[in-house]
Amino acid sequence: MISPLLNRELGVLAFNERVLAQAEDPSVPLLERLRFVCITSSNLDEFSEVRMSGLHEQIRVAADGMTPDGMSLQHAYAVISERAQKLVARQYALFNDVLLPALDAEGIAFYQESDWDQEQTTWAHAFFKTELLPVLTPIGLDPAHPFPRVLNKSLNFAVKLSGKDAFGRETELAIVQAPRALPRLIRMPENLSRHAYGFVLLSSLMQHFVGELFPGLSIGGCYQFRVTRNSDLFVDEDEVTDLRQALQGELSMRQLGDAVRLEVVDGTPPSLVQRLLNQNNLGPGDCYRVNGSVNLVRLMLLPDLVDRPDLKFAPHVPVLPKAFVTAGSVFDVIDQGDVLLHHPYESFQPVLELLQQAAIDPDVLAIKQTIYRTGDDSPLMSTLMQAAKNGKEVTVVLELMARFDEETNIGWAAKLEAVGAHVVYGVFGYKTHAKMLLIVRRKRHAKHTRLKRYLHLGTGNYHPKTARLYTDFGLLTSDEKMCEDAHNVFQQLTGFGKQVPLKRLWESPFTLHANLLKAIQAEVDAVKAGRQGSIIAKMNALLEPSVIEALYQASQAGVTIQLLVRGVCALKPGVPGLSENIKVRSIIGRFLEHHRIFYFFADGEEKVMLSSADWMDRNLFRRIEIAFPIQDAKLKRRVIEESLLVHLRDNASAWDMDSEGGYQKTSPGDAEAMVSQIALLARF
């Protein structure tokens, strides 16, 4: 029997193929094309650390197991590895054969050691001796120096040696790890470079001057390699008594987890490759031979080092909505009615200002906020600390298990507690992914005062930087029922108690999944009764089997379903008898499409929910998520037009999915090209 689901890992790789296609597109500015190469490389790092390591673990536990799409684990691993290898080869071919020559033509050059003239070599040698040599530690391999357990994703060099050292030891191989503090990209002085911007990679310096680490010995070769390790953290719910302390112990081990991938440069001798594979308990399929630097992610810095606006996207300054230009305070604006913010087209500043004004407003009594990701240098967190110092009752539900942000969030937890804020970590076993900011304020009237609540709900993180790069919606409201719902969710997160029915919000793991199925079924019932049924949904990923099955049944009943899924989608669209009324497309562009929107025709009522949750098992059952309604008619039309219909009209940057999981980029043909993100930039 053919599975009704597509493979998750292959779907992730298909997404990264679409990202890499942005780098291949000559209409994209050159330095932005380089960024997309780096983004793909970074995504593949995480893919290895999380998805491939997960498959490794599944195979270890149950070698004869099956994937949800019906493949054996062993076969799936082989198919996924082969596809990943092809993607990496395509990535390096693009970088070497297209982007490097194009950059060179624009006066941006990478100097290999074979390209250096005498003056450049003199400079490079001086730089190596003064900036690199003092911090490098070569490790010669012998019985007293076993093979070191190199850190996750660190840049390393295997150096083949011959000769006897000062102690009479025969030498064969040494390992040198490049400290992470060292720059991977070094700018050559302008007076020495034949280009406006000349750069040398750290690896070029190492390979040319590595002999200085082994005086008197013969160098037989110097080869870059990198090991990627399992980066999942394990915290035992039955054993842990202090989550923060337990995580701190686990974080120190993340760099030394089990190996899942080996990257080596082309030309590395087969015997050395085999030794590295054996050392890391990896097989031949886990080795990626690359033509160039083993870590392209580090080139992400290059566009910021080059002052060439003509080779980058035109600057975009998010718009400040008119209501905030003349208003006395953000509270005054919210008092006039709900406010919708569409990032990055509209500014995140009103959210920061709301918090900043709350921190100093004598009428504000309490501030409650969830934090998932916010960054190392966050004005929002600094404002929360200031509010606590000012005597406000500040409560922060801080998710310590936000993958790869654990250390940052642990640091913020300590700083918040130091100034008197209440910091809680939500419910153990359920990541708090909901985006909520609730403020309690005295509202003064002529003869009396009363407490009024103000609420911000969002589809994205409280992260000012990503608010300029990710598309998200935020809602500012003082709707009493919605504020009461948010209050009850905070009560759940910080205290104990039975589930309280919510009036407006849908909440995972309690009601969001059930309400989704109920809303889908309502469209089915409408069609069966001869009325219109329509669903449009936008999200990052669609994987949850029962939701997919409900969508299949809705399609078979005649409901029209249009899905905008940026990343992985396990649903098969357009299969006769199963999903012929379902279409799936993906939007990849300058901004990362991040908001989640669920639209149901609802007999003409047009129910629109915004959410922090994708349609995945983890979001619906193992996280605390919310979905919230847009009730104002004008704001509802904005959401429908700005985040759904505009993408469905895109005929130049959208990718339409077929029933086998393949994607075809749309083409305008003879029509006028319409790129949805460009259209939205023009509108705002």
Enzyme catalytic residues: 433
Classify residue 679 as exposed, middle or buried by CB count within 10 Å of its CB (0-12, 13-18, 19+). Answer: middle
Q: Give CA–CA dist 587/585, Å, rounded.
A: 7
The torsion angles phi and psi of 124, rounded to 5 degrees, stand at -60, -40
- Residue 136 sits at the vertex; the CA angle it makes with 134 and 139, to the nearest 5 degrees, is 135
Q: Give CA–CA dist 422/393, Å, rounded.
A: 8
Strand, coil or helix: what is 355? helix
Long-range contacts of 638-642 (CB under 8 A, 24+ apart): 638/340, 638/342, 639/340, 639/473, 639/597, 639/608, 639/610, 640/536, 640/599, 640/606, 640/608, 642/342, 642/345, 642/680, 642/683
Structure tokens at 180: 């992470």
Strand, coil or helix: what is 359? helix
CA-derived radius of gyration, the chain = 27
Q: Give CA–CA dist 679/410, Å, rounded.
A: 40
CB-based burial, 327-361: b 16+ in 10 Å, e otherwise? beebbebbeeebbbbbbbbbbbbbbbbbbbbbbeb
- Are the CB atoms for 152 and 229 separated by under 8 Å? yes
Binding site listing for ATP: 43, 470, 566, 594
Strand, coil or helix: what is 365? strand
CB-based burial, 162-201: b 16+ in 10 Å, e otherwise? eeeeeeeeebebbbbbbeeeeebbbebeeebbebebbbbb
Binding site listing for Mg(2+): 373, 403
For the beta carbon of residue 485, count every other beta carbon within 10 angstroms: 24
- Whose CA is closest to 590, among 12, 23, 15? 23
Q: Give CA–CA dist 160/594, Å, rounded.
A: 47
153 Ramachandran zone, left/alpha/beta (phi>0; psi -120 to 50): left
CB-based burial, 62-83: b 16+ in 10 Å, e otherwise? eeeeebebebebeebbeebbeb
For the beta carbon of residue 322, count every other beta carbon within 10 angstroms: 8
Q: Give CA–CA dist 233/246, Å, rounded.
A: 10
- Whose CA is closest to 99, among 295, 311, 308? 311
CB-based burial, 634-651: b 16+ in 10 Å, e otherwise? ebbebbbebbbbbbbebb
- Are the CB atoms for 290 and 92 separated by under 8 Å? yes
State the Cα torsion 601-580-619-439 to the nearest 10°.
-20
The secondary structure element, H or E, covering residue 537 is strand 534-539
Structure tokens at 122: 């003199």
Beta bridge partners of residue 143, listed in sequence order? none
Q: What is the DSSP secondary structure assignment for residue 645, as one 8-state letter?
A: I
Q: How far is CA 15 from CA 53, 235, 310, in A?
A: 19, 30, 28
- Are the CB atoms for 291 and 268 separated by under 8 Å? no
